[in-house]
Amino acid sequence: MRPILFQLGRVPILSYGFSLAIAFMACTLLGMREARRRDIDPDKVLDLALYLCISGIIGARLLFVLLDIPTYFKNPIQIINLRDGGLAYHGGFIAALLVGIAFSRRSKLNGWIMADIIAPLIALGYAIVRIGCLMNGCCSGLPADVPWALACRAGDATLRHPTQIYAALLSLLIFIILYAKKDHKKFPGYLMFLYVGLYSISRFIVEIFRDVPRLIGPFSITQLASLLLVFGAFACIRILSSEAVEEQSPASQR
């Protein structure tokens, strides 16, 4: 593990923070390029990216703190300590989604088209940040004796499932799938619903191997939430796809 990637003088550059910065820059540049291709002002995407980044971090930290509120009541100053990660992805996603909707309305952008642009980039950014988790030694898996097990928890030499790598690879696969469908002919927003469904499946799988508390039997609270999101996302895709087909049918155009 290498939580401190390098130092600039006396200033330590943390691996987790560095991965967040790389993810932000890479995804913003790709988003601006896609916006130009769709005749959308790329500066709008840059502004949106800044809002999403800030709101995502705040929302992710807020949910993480709320899930362990007794600990933070004892030591409130730790609420702003992000050196060890401490971000709950679903909180960040929800906060960024709400901010994205508000920004699109204020900027008079089609929110569903913006969602299609952003969805593949969320998957790419997530994959990059999970490499930061690996270097930081957080979000590790259960002890394991598989050939690819790693000592991937900070301060612990136990060989574990490298769930950070599992998550990164699955998210990279999701990015490839979504990017290949960027010119889809389905309803606007299709890629975002597809992302939520695919991410939830991948998260459910990764949680099997993560060292996290189990809420009901072998299932964690994240797995239960993922199941709801899987069914919800694909149900929305089916319903909205059917409505789009009906709108495009000759009978509806008479």
Nearest-Å Rg of the Cα atoms of the chain is: 20
Per-residue pLDDT at 241: 92
Residue 153 — φ and ψ, nearest 5°? Answer: -115, 130
Higher pLDDT, 68 or 239: 239
Higher pLDDT, 254 or 50: 50
Identity (one letter) of the amino acid at 111?
G
**Domain extents for the chain?**
4-182
Structural contact between residues 72 and 65, judged by C-beta atoms closer than 8 angstroms: yes
pTM, 2 dp? 0.89
pLDDT bracket for residue 253 (50, 70, 90):
low
DSSP secondary structure of 98-130: HHHHHHHHHTT--HHHHHHHHHHHHHHHHHHHH
Structural contact between residues 160 and 151, judged by C-beta atoms closer than 8 angstroms: yes
Tokens of 79: 């609420």
pLDDT, tens digit (0-9, with 9 covering 90-100), for 110-136: 999 999 999 999 999 999 999 999 999
Element housing 65 (H / E): helix 42-66
